[in-house]
Structure 1
């Protein structure tokens, strides 16, 4: 069951690009970053993002031993997730 991420919640102090996302949301769901990472580990096609008409899958990356969410390289925008609006 693929879910389209339509918004994110950033951490209050989000200067580090590898530690910015607190949660992701969409139609009928709002998942913490930890829950979202676990979901992607179970199913690599669990979340996707549309940005300016292009769809890309969300994946897990690692920086300094910490896992975080990012999108597959689509040669379009480097931070598709970070460009989404804040969840309300």
Structure 2
């Protein structure tokens, strides 16, 4: 069964294509250590049912992160639809 992890930060490229925009995601483990994954590692973890990811939107609501595909078949991460029009994932701060 997959374990759930909150994404607290991302690293973005300077590209505008949605499948090239996020390079890495990151968060904090229960023990306080920092974790980071590349986009490919995160997608693989979701597909293999190893981990699931979520973000908290501006209202503090948990929003699941899912895999989406462009019309050309490129995979990328996005959040499920919620009550805000903001892009919950791309609005996160940059990982340091």
For structure 1, list consecutive stretches of 5 or more residues without a partner in the other structure: none
- The partner residue of 1:73 within 70, 75, 81 is 81
Aligned length: 87
- The 5 Å alignment of 1:18-37 reads 18-27=19-28, 28-37=34-43
- Please, what TM-score do these two structures have when normalized by structure 1? 0.88
1:29-82 Cα shifts (integer Å, max 9, x gaps): 100000000111123861110121111111000002100000111131342100
Provide structure 2 residue ranges, at least 5 long, that are not aligned to the other structure: 29-33
Q: Which of 1 and 2 has greater Rg?
A: 2
Runs of 4 or more, structure 1, over 3 Å off, are: none
RMSD, aligned CA: 1.6
TM-score, normalised with respect to structure 2: 0.82
